[in-house]
Amino acid sequence: MKKGLKYSLMKTVGYLSYNLLKILPTGGKSYPGYLFLRYAGLDSLGNLAKEQIKDGSILITGTNGKTTTTTMIIDLMSNDVNISKSVDNNTIYALTTALLAKKSDIGIFEYGIRDLKHGIPDVVEKNIKPKVVVYTNVSREHTQVLGVKNSFEDYVKAKTLLSKNMKDGIVVANADDPIICNIGQEKQNDGHVVYYGFNVDNIEDDTDVSVMCPKCNKPLTYSHKYMNQRGVYSCSCGFKRCEPDVKITKYSIENNKNIITIDANVYNYFVDENISFTLDLELPLFGVHNVYNVLAATSTYACFTPKPENIEEKLKNYFNNIDLSILPPGRFEVLEYADKLVGIGQGDNGDALKVNYDYMNHFIQGNDYEFIYCTPDVNKEEIFEDHLNILKKINPTHITVIPGRVSVDVAKTYYTQIKDNNLNASFKSIEYDFEKRASGIIDSINESEYKYVVVSGCGEEHDVWNVTLNKLKE
């Protein structure tokens, strides 16, 4: 079959399969894209993107915050233009399915990259030709993919490749994250970079985590830390944090709300000049990490909306009316259960575990509490090391260690290391079964003598957390 005919046929088949499968609970997010790429070929993705997207695409990547940031960008952009979207299913197949579904002005695609081989970021960039690549943050996670262990350096390289060869585009970069800031600096000579970050003194994270310079691999010096590796930093080699273009200049917590001011001076792709604005917002009390997501979404919208007029009003109307439903399933949630206040949600890297605790700490306020810690699996030592550093820093009154992934034996090994660090801990062995894990977590909550209980760590993506939450809410 001739290449052009095969392409047209598979485009039609993909479109029809999408419309047939979208009634399923999963919405047929991946299979139509898989069919198209399997039979039309990966090199057909470029033609598909060119035919289906008029003005260009936005790709959102990072370790944490991708789904929330993508959702916010979709909500904002969809009021201005017709969009194609892929969110919370961040594979090349889901992206391709979104392209097959319809023609649109702008594509907005969450894209997760765990390694070079499976994430193929350079291939995605070459074919999609994004106009904007958004980086949330980078921390140690996903060092093992399909049984193969990869270095953190390879993980960072894979993220970098998503924008490395992009020409005449915009990188939206977290200035407070050293690795992301470095990605931005390396793009400044062949495109625009919009940096976002904090510029306040009343947020301070005293977690003692050594962060290495992405240029020379020496320890960075921080004059201020906002959250984990994010802050104001410099290195003796000359590398330092860039001044944010979109920044938080005021931050406070009042009446269970985040009260913030954002000052922005941002290059807009469509008007080809900078636009400036100031926002005074009242956000849900959903943690500093989600305030970063608000900054990322604001930066992206400001630089790529074709309708920047009245931008302050549009951003205020949106953000002043969002609530906790903006957060995707499996994310940290606080609820009353029996006579306890329970904070529960996925924290499968040090960054996520810390922000979960920080959020719950608004309620704990110095009282004794239980931490039910769900361990990572085999060959996830780097993630456990990051988790252990957090646990040592926060020093819970008591820790119950539960296997979070497949191996019970490695969970026992992690428990031993926790005990060796003089933390008050006990181990609860639960076999690998979603229902039994969920029931075991709830049993541990019931058995705890403490009013405040934090449940976080690793689990099978959203499934264990959703099952457990549903049981708690029954």
Q: 73 and 60 in contact (C-beta within 8 Å)?
A: yes
Res 2: pLDDT: 57
**Residues with pLDDT less than 70, the chain:** 1-3, 24-27, 141-150, 329-330, 461-462
Res 146: pLDDT: 43
- Measure Cα distances from 226 to 335, 345, 355, 361 in Å: 26, 22, 11, 16
Which residues pair with residue 260 across a beta bridge? 251, 281
**Total number of domains in the chain:** 2
Whether residues 446 and 401 share a domain: the answer is yes
Whether residues 255 and 315 share a domain: the answer is yes
User: Is 0.75 topped by the overall pTM?
Assistant: yes
Whether residues 123 and 207 share a domain: the answer is yes
Res 66: pLDDT: 94
Whether residues 302 and 367 share a domain: the answer is no
Q: Write out pLDDT tens, residues 188-204.
A: 988 999 999 999 999 98
Res 395: pLDDT: 96
Whether residues 79 and 202 share a domain: the answer is yes
CATH of the domain at 421: 3.90.190.20
Whether residues 381 and 244 share a domain: the answer is no
- Measure Cα distances from 256 to 227, 326, 327, 464 in Å: 20, 17, 17, 29
Separation of CA 267 from chain center: 24
Whether residues 297 and 401 share a domain: the answer is no
Range of the domain at 414: 333-473
At CB < 8 A and 24+ separation, what contacts does 290-293 make? 290/65, 290/68, 290/327, 291/248, 291/251, 291/258, 291/260, 292/65, 292/136, 292/137, 292/174, 292/176, 292/196, 292/227, 292/230, 293/65, 293/68, 293/69, 293/72, 293/136
Q: 346 and 376 in contact (C-beta within 8 Å)?
A: no
Q: 454 and 355 in contact (C-beta within 8 Å)?
A: no
Whether residues 367 and 307 share a domain: the answer is no
Whether residues 319 and 340 share a domain: the answer is no
CATH of the domain at 286: 3.40.1190.10
Determine how β-strand 221-227 pairs with β-strand 230-234.
antiparallel
CB atoms within 10 A of CB 140: 17
Last residue of a domain, one of 275, 306, 326: 326
Whether residues 69 and 188 share a domain: the answer is yes
The three-state secondary structure class of 221 is strand
Whether residues 352 and 315 share a domain: the answer is no
Q: 258 and 251 in contact (C-beta within 8 Å)?
A: yes
What is d(CA 392, CA 88) in angstroms, rounded to the nearest whole number?
Answer: 32
**Torsion angle, alpha carbons of 418, 419, 425, 427, to 10:** 80
Q: Write out pLDDT tens, residues 235-275.
A: 999 999 999 999 999 999 998 899 999 999 999 999 999 99
Closest CA to 172 of 115, 101, 108, 90: 108
Q: 143 and 150 in contact (C-beta within 8 Å)?
A: yes
Last residue of a domain, one of 326, 350, 377: 326
Last residue of a domain, one of 299, 326, 353: 326
Whether residues 291 and 348 share a domain: the answer is no
